Amino acid sequence: MPLPYSQACENNKDPILERLQELFVDTYSVLEIGSGSGQHAEHFAENLTHLNWQPSERAEHLSGLNRRIAQASLPNLAPAIELDINRQHLPRQTYDAIFTANTMHIMSWPTVERMFASLDKVLAEGGRLCIYGPFNYAGVYTSASNELFDQSLKGRHASMGIRDIEQVQRLAQRHGFNCLQDFQMPANNRLLHFYSG
């Protein structure tokens, strides 16, 4: 059976890695939420050898993800654990950082709120949070392609959609996170870097 694959991941994994090389220089453990195909997890673990990468996914995507992880056979890439933000079975340990890509527009807004409310249980004090994906500014799309993408998301499910950066930042602030950086990334995406504490 072919491994799960995302062309978008192939396109964005190097630009994201370039940022993570700076942001995760003092980070030794990372929990990834919504690892999808595992291409990010594999690429980042392979290139950030000083840290341990813990992928996670909802139950229905775990087997394909874990096939990729087993095939990669990297000492710092753990088998993916089941993690559905709505089911609250969080890992019992804390991590230095949380990374999540392309999940905010897939999760409903109440799920995004739940995710932020859960972070203090899995993130060490002073930990970092990196969120990659498309965002709007005050309801304005950053490109025509993002507008089309948003329409297609809402066609799939009314609860999906590109979020406003300001709304995510306000939510993050309520949970003790400061947005340190908002990087422009290729293909009209952003990488948001938060610090807790």
Ligand X SMILES: C[S@@+](CC[C@H](N)C(=O)[O-])C[C@H]1O[C@@H](n2cnc3c(N)ncnc32)[C@H](O)[C@@H]1O
Chain residues that interact with ligand X, rule: CB under 6 A: 6, 9, 33-37, 40, 57-58, 61, 83-86, 101-103, 106-107, 111
Give the C-alpha separation, 123 to 140, whole Å: 31
Smallest gap from residue 6 Cβ to ligand X (A): 5
Q: Is 48 left (phi over 0), alpha (psi -120 to 50) or beta?
A: beta
Smallest gap from residue 16 Cβ to ligand X (A): 9
Nearer to ligand X, 114 or 138 (CB): 114
The residues, ordered by sequence, that sit 6+ positions from 51 with a Cβ below 8 Å of its Cβ are 24, 27, 28, 29, 30, 45, 76, 96
Say how many C-beta atoms besides its own lie within 10 A of residue 116's C-beta.
Answer: 19
Nearer to ligand X, 11 or 178 (CB): 11
Smallest gap from residue 65 Cβ to ligand X (A): 8
Nearer to ligand X, 36 or 125 (CB): 36
Strands 29-33 and 52-54, sheet pairing: parallel
Smallest gap from residue 166 Cβ to ligand X (A): 22
